[in-house]
Structure 1
Amino acid sequence: MADQAVVFAYHDVGVRCLRVLLDAGVRVPLVVTHRDDPAEKIWFGSVAQLARSRGVEVLEDPTLEQLAETVRRIAPEFIFSFYYRRMLPAELLALARRGAFNMHGSLLPKYRGRAPVNWAILKGERETGATLHEMTAKPDAGRIVDQQAVPIGPDDTALEVFGRVTDAAEVVLKRSLKKLLAGTADFKAQDLSRGSYFGGRKPEGGRIDWSKSAREIHDLVRAVAPPYPGAFSGNLKIFRTRLEPGRTPRRADPGPYRDGNAWFARCGDGKVLRLLEVEGEP
């Protein structure tokens, strides 16, 4: 009999990793996912659509009581979580007879928590990645099964980096699955002191503080660029910027300005950003 897993999944990572399990012959009697939020721009694949196309039962945003009853009835060997947006309580994780595992979009223990790709770019990192780890009551703190690094270029946006992280997640799961199912996987404990936990991000987090350095503002713009809500200053939305270290600013105080038909900004360190894609006025 094939190995059996209940899968909690959403977003592109959820789609790709669910497909890896199904293509490997893992029996998935249940997929738990989210209803798309009408207030959110949906630019990613549908886990529910993939699951239904493969004949898998789907639950969307069930109550904890409904979920516990259903998973208890299935008595799965494994639980997998692939970009599911809710914490799974310890009593639910305990229903997986051979373990519960999560795919996280960073190189743990760095950037535990929410929006790890966006935070990594915002903090000026030059690499991030995907990590498969055991789930515990504490978020993103369990032992590591495997991880794969990906680069972050100096002008890469969150969307571009997230695409690489999604690819890395698929690579990690394919590479680790055979040993995980066989019970021969090697686990590595995390040293949580070497990383930090980050919370979710809101549109207000895209507000630009022009007193910050040009590099910090450039990293913010990249971190929240579309399809995320974007950076802004007053009524000016800023979607893409470029550092211009050789340019002399045309205003004395920090802030955006026009020079001919082009937009620029003087930043708090006296350096200039070119605002390549903007909408509205300051």
Structure 2
Amino acid sequence: MRVVMFGYQTWGHKTLQALIESRHDVVGVVTHPTSDQAYESIWADSVEDLARGHNVPVHLARRPDDAMIDRIHQWAPDIIVANNWRTWLPPEIFGHPPHGTLNLHDSLLPKFTGFSPVAWALISGAPEVGLTAHRMDGELDTGDILTQAAVPIGPRDTATELVLATIDLIPRVLLESLDKIEAGTARWHPQDLSERTFFHKRHETDSLIDWSWDAADIDRLIRAMSDPYPNAFTHYRGERVYIVEAHVSQGVYGGTPGRVFIAEGDGMAIVAGPNAHRGTNHALVIDRVRTEDGTDHAALEYFPSGGGYLTAVP
């Protein structure tokens, strides 16, 4: 089939690479200009460079316009494939090819519609992440599903590991879907939108630790904000501190959330959770921190003894 690919960053790069290596004819690529936005500079493999390196025509745009629509008509694709295109596409584009637009979204729809689905899935305690190939419609990630694949979330997995695992699913899910569409054997399944969960873009504020959360929830937040993501952070004695590694305590600790309490093993136990004054919660044990100058410290080097509080503000 004649394919036009819409995509950006590593997700789009992996999708385009799979298409280039397939038997399909990639007749054009639409991608965004390079951005300095923090989350867009992390998984930054260039779709544009890959396309130009294989002599595939490229159209650069931040959002759809008449010039983009004209370009799609000139390329005359049988299908559009989209992965990590960052703005809404109108029906004049997604409905133009005979087979419409196949969108790849890195969650198991209808769960975790929207933005940063892998990070939000880990933070929320979901048992798995995955990849969905679905037909694009006029809403965000709501179209009929063709193919899905899942990756279980292990007890110590980080978002970085899970993102890489879901990216590795792209060639199989994409090519299986295109084979079914081309052969006329595709069986589309409407989403149960009553089960939909919709998450917003992550912001710096979303990585600020709330010590009234259960220790297990804070632990998941820290693993979701694993390198190279902006790490989860708190403040100690007027300075911002990033929590790079932590785990839930063996012991049960009581007091006030955020209290730097006592060493447990090689880490420092921080009182956490709702109703911590009742003494029924596990603590979060910090193993490694990073200061604002980028230096990593073992927890017991940074906190040589208990005392003081980790707070939301300096």
Contact conserved, 1:99 with 1:134, CA < 8 A, in 2? yes
Q: Does 1:218 align with 2:219?
A: yes
> What TM-score, normalized by structure 2, do the two folds share?
0.83
For 2:251, the equivalent position in structure 1 comes to 247
Q: Secondary structure at the match of 1:102?
A: strand
Identity level (%): 35
Matches within 5 A, 1:143-162: 143-162=144-163
CA positional deviation for 1:224? 2.0
CA positional deviation for 1:259? 4.2
Matches within 5 A, 1:105-144: 105-144=106-145
Equivalent AA in structure 1 for residue 282 of structure 2: K
Residue by residue over 1:229-281, the C-alpha shift from the partner in whole angstroms, topping out at 9 and shown as x without a partner, is 1211121111221112x2244x7211152646743311115311111221238
Cα separation, partners in 2 of 1:52 and 1:258, compared to 1, 3 Å: farther
Aligned-residue RMSD, C-alpha: 1.9
For 1:97, the equivalent position in structure 2 comes to 98
For 1:237, the equivalent position in structure 2 comes to 242
Distance in 2 between residues matched to 1:52 and 1:111, nearest whole Å = 33
Cα separation, partners in 2 of 1:32 and 1:258, compared to 1, 3 Å: farther
Gaps of 5+ in 2: 275-280, 292-301, 303-309
Equivalent AA in structure 2 for residue 247 of structure 1: G
Distance in 2 between residues matched to 1:265 and 1:36, nearest whole Å = 41
Cα separation, partners in 2 of 1:159 and 1:217, compared to 1, 3 Å: same
Distance in 2 between residues matched to 1:72 and 1:61, nearest whole Å = 16
Matches within 5 A, 1:56-205: 56-61=56-61, 64-205=65-206
Gaps of 5+ in 1: none
Equivalent AA in structure 1 for residue 289 of structure 2: V
Cα separation, partners in 2 of 1:116 and 1:68, compared to 1, 3 Å: same
Matched positions, count:
278
Equivalent AA in structure 1 for residue 273 of structure 2: G
Distance in 1 between residues matched to 2:108 and 2:204, nearest whole Å = 25
Q: Does 1:278 align with 2:278?
A: no
Distance in 2 between residues matched to 1:240 and 1:32, nearest whole Å = 39
Q: Secondary structure at the match of 1:271?
A: strand
CA positional deviation for 1:191? 0.7
For 2:34, the equivalent position in structure 1 comes to 36
> What TM-score, normalized by structure 1, do the two folds share?
0.92
Distance in 1 between residues matched to 2:261 and 2:177, nearest whole Å = 53
Distance in 1 between residues matched to 2:241 and 2:285, nearest whole Å = 14
For 1:267, the equivalent position in structure 2 comes to 272
